[in-house]
Amino acid sequence: AKSVGNIMGNFHPHGDFSIYDAMVRMSQDWKNREILVEMHGNNGSMDGDPPAAMRYTEARLSEIAGYLLQDI
């Protein structure tokens, strides 16, 4: 929830669901070759189960995301 609030306050003031949904998609290894966000908690399933509410999950950038963003 902290990450979503930070993004919403600084970059995208149009609602928290779209931000959280993008973070969840970047953490799902069945949708991406390399995950950019590591999530702790339920981030959905390949069978279509929805992810947990943002208050029940924690997220951080993955190692490869840090590498991709290091020179920005």
The total number of residues shown for the chain amounts to 72
CA 40 to each of CA 1, 9, 11, 55: distance values in angstroms, whole numbers, following the listed order? 13, 23, 24, 11
pLDDT band at 65 (very low <50, low <70, confident <90, very high): very high
- pTM of this structure: 0.86
Active-site residues, by number, are 56
DSSP structure string for 4-36: HHHHHHHT--S-HHHHHHHHHHHH-TTT-SS-S
Beta bridge partners of 1: none
The label of the residue with tokens 């991709």 reads 68
Nearest CA to 59 among 42, 37, 43?
A: 37
Segment 18-51, tens digit of pLDDT: 999 999 999 999 999 999 999 999 999 999 999 9
